[in-house]
């Protein structure tokens, strides 16, 4: 996954989300905040939290270098489910980061550790419960409305996280790089005095839409090589 991390350095989750749209794949994104500004990219290492840290330790037993621990705590906002010790142990196990569908704590310590951690926010209180352990607790994690497994890759930055199928990662990153290059050219032209409306022939779009009301801006962009909406 080192190549994945390197390729994602110059991209954003927005580029990858647009690439999914262009490839006709479900866009699986959620809004999570980074505890420390930065990025994460790696294959999903799923864990469904039930109230005890031992589940994470068990997950680390089978972790591969560059995996990202994806913690499913049901989006709960009444408890934190990971803290500094989990982050430190994850780093020692070669895990590239943590993505938490729930809350974290020990913010200052996590920031000092430097491991990328994404969550819904922070809370001082840890788990006050211990639920039965599902048989598939280390096989899948649900984040928002999406269920992910080790067959998925997660990428995260300041905009949130996006999940993509591992076997489509190269294809989607290729598309994301194309979208990124197009957007950079468009930005440079705006800076030099050529408006975005001029670049995407917005006048032509309005004229063609009068003739064919079903014409979408997305279709027009494909025809002129734009990449604003995908």
How much is the pLDDT for 148? 98
Q: 137, 120, 132: which is closest to 78 by C-alpha?
A: 120
Q: How far apart are CA 20 and CA 29, in angstroms?
A: 10
How much is the pLDDT for 41? 98
> Helices (DSSP H) in 25-166: which residue ranges?
54-61, 84-92, 107-113
Count the alpha carbons within 13 Å of 219 in the hemisphere toward its beta carbon: 9
Q: How far apart are CA 53 and CA 51, in angstroms?
A: 7
User: How many other CB atoms are found less than 10 A from the CB of residue 18?
Assistant: 24
On the 0-12 / 13-18 / 19+ scale of CB atoms within 10 A, 37 is: exposed
- The greatest distance separating any two alpha carbons of the chain, rounded to the nearest whole angstrom, comes to 64
How much is the pLDDT for 182? 87
User: In the chain, where are the structural domains located?
Assistant: 2-165, 172-224
Q: How far apart are CA 63 and CA 59, in angstroms?
A: 6
Cβ–Cβ under 8 Å, residues 27 and 50: no
Q: How far apart are CA 181 and CA 193, in angstroms?
A: 19
Q: 20, 10, 6: which is closest to 175 by C-alpha?
A: 20
Coil, strand, or helix at residue 157?
Answer: strand
Q: 10-residue block means of pLDDT along the chain (230 residues)?
A: 87 97 96 94 97 95 97 97 97 97 98 97 94 94 98 98 97 95 90 93 94 92 65
2-165 falls under which CATH superfamily?
Ribonuclease E inhibitor RraA/RraA-like (3.50.30.40)
Q: What's CA 15's distance to the chain center, in Å? A: 11
Q: How far apart are CA 14 and CA 24, in angstroms?
A: 15
Q: Taking the CA atoms of the chain, what radius of gyration do you get in angstroms?
A: 20
């Amino acid at each position: 996954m080192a190549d994945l991390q390197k390729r994602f350095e110059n991209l954003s989750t927005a580029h990858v989300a647009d690439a999914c749209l262009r490839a006709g794949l479900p866009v699986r994104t959620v809004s999570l905040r980074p505890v420390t500004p930065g990025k994460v990219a790696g294959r999903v290492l799923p864990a469904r939290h039930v109230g005890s840290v031992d589940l994470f330790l068990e997950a680390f037993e089978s972790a591969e270098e560059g995996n990202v621990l994806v913690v499913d705590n049901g989006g709960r906002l009444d408890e934190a489910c990971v803290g500094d010790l989990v982050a430190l142990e994850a780093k020692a196990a070669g895990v590239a980061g943590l993505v938490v569908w729930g809350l974290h704590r020990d913010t200052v310590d996590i920031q000092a550790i430097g491991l990328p951690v994404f969550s819904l926010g922070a809370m001082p209180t840890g788990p006050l419960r211990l639920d039965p352990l599902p048989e598939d607790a280390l096989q899948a994690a649900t984040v928002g409305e999406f269920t992910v497994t080790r067959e998925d890759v997660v990428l995260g930055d300041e905009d949130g996280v996006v999940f993509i199928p591992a076997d489509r990662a190269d294809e989607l990153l290729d598309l994301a790089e194309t979208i990124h290059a197009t957007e950079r050219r468009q930005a440079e032209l705006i800076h030099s005095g050529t408006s975005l409306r001029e670049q995407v022939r917005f006048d032509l779009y309005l004229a063609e839409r009068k003739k064919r009301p079903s014409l979408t801006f997305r279709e027009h962009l494909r025809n002129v090589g734009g990449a604003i909406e995908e």
